[in-house]
Structure 1
Amino acid sequence: MASTLAERRVLVTGGSSGIGASVADAVVKAGGRVALLARRTDRLAELTSRLAPNATAVTCDITDEAAVRDAADVAVEWLGGLDALVNSAGLFTAGRVADLDPAAWRSMFEVNVLGLLNVTRACIPHLGDRPGASVVNISSLSGRRVPRPTSGVYAATKFAVHALSEGLRQELSPNGIRVTTVAPGMVDTDIAAEWPDDPDSTAFRERLRADGLPAEAVADAVVHVLGVGPEVNVVEYAVMSTKQQ
Structure 2
Amino acid sequence: MGVFDLTGRKALVTGGAQGLGEGMARALATAGAHVVVADVQDDLAKEVATSLGEGHGSVHLDVTDDAGWESAVADAAGQLGGLDVLVNNAGVEITSLVVDLDPDEVRRMLEVNLLGTALGLKHAFRAMRPGGIAGQGGAVVNVASVAATIAFPGIAVYSATKSGVDRLTRVAAMESGKLGYGVRVNCIYPGLVPTAMGMGLAQDVTRIGLFPSVEEAVGAVVGLTPAGRLGEVADMADAVVFLASDAARFVTGAGLPVDGGMGM
> TM-score, normalised to structure 2's length?
0.83
1:30 is displaced (CA, Å) by: 0.3
1:32 aligns with 2:43: no
Residue among 184, 196, 212 paired with 1:190: 196
Aligned to 2:210: none
Aligned partner letter, 1:66: A
User: What pairs up with 1:203-222 in 2 under 5 angstroms?
Assistant: 203=214, 207=218, 211-222=229-240
The 8 Å contact of residues 8 and 34 in structure 2, kept in 1 or not, is answered as yes
1:228 aligns with 2:251: no
Q: How many aligned positions are there?
A: 244
Aligned partner letter, 1:181: C
SS in 2 for 1:98: helix
Aligned partner letter, 2:123: A
SS in 2 for 1:34: strand
The 8 Å contact of residues 87 and 137 in structure 1, kept in 2 or not, is answered as yes
Aligned partner letter, 1:110: E
Aligned to 1:77: 78
Q: Aligned equivalents of 1:67 and 1:198: distance in 2?
A: 31
1:194 is displaced (CA, Å) by: 6.0
Aligned to 2:164: 160
Q: CA RMSD in A?
A: 2.7
1:138 aligns with 2:143: yes
Indicate how the Cα distance of structure 1 residues 113 and 36 shifts in structure 2: closer, same or farther if over 3 A, else same.
Answer: same
Indicate how the Cα distance of structure 1 residues 152 and 81 shifts in structure 2: closer, same or farther if over 3 A, else same.
Answer: same
Q: Aligned equivalents of 1:51 and 1:111: distance in 2?
A: 26
> TM-score, normalised to structure 1's length?
0.89
The 8 Å contact of residues 93 and 192 in structure 1, kept in 2 or not, is answered as no
1:68 is displaced (CA, Å) by: 1.7
Indicate how the Cα distance of structure 1 residues 206 and 52 shifts in structure 2: closer, same or farther if over 3 A, else same.
Answer: farther
Mean Cα displacement is larger for which, 14-23 or 130-139? 130-139
1:192 is displaced (CA, Å) by: 4.9
Indicate how the Cα distance of structure 1 residues 224 and 64 shifts in structure 2: closer, same or farther if over 3 A, else same.
Answer: same
Unaligned regions of 5+ residues in structure 2, if any? 208-212, 223-228
The 8 Å contact of residues 6 and 31 in structure 2, kept in 1 or not, is answered as yes
1:244 is displaced (CA, Å) by: 9.4
Residue among 232, 235, 239 paired with 2:258: 239
Mean Cα displacement is larger for which, 124-133 or 22-31? 124-133
Aligned to 2:20: 19
1:189 is displaced (CA, Å) by: 1.5
Query: Among the aligned pairs, what percent are the same residue?
Result: 30
Residue among 169, 173, 197 paired with 1:169: 173
Mean Cα displacement is larger for which, 9-18 or 186-195? 186-195
User: What pairs up with 1:46-125 in 2 under 5 angstroms?
Assistant: 46-125=47-126
Q: Aligned equivalents of 2:3 and 2:101: distance in 1?
A: 45
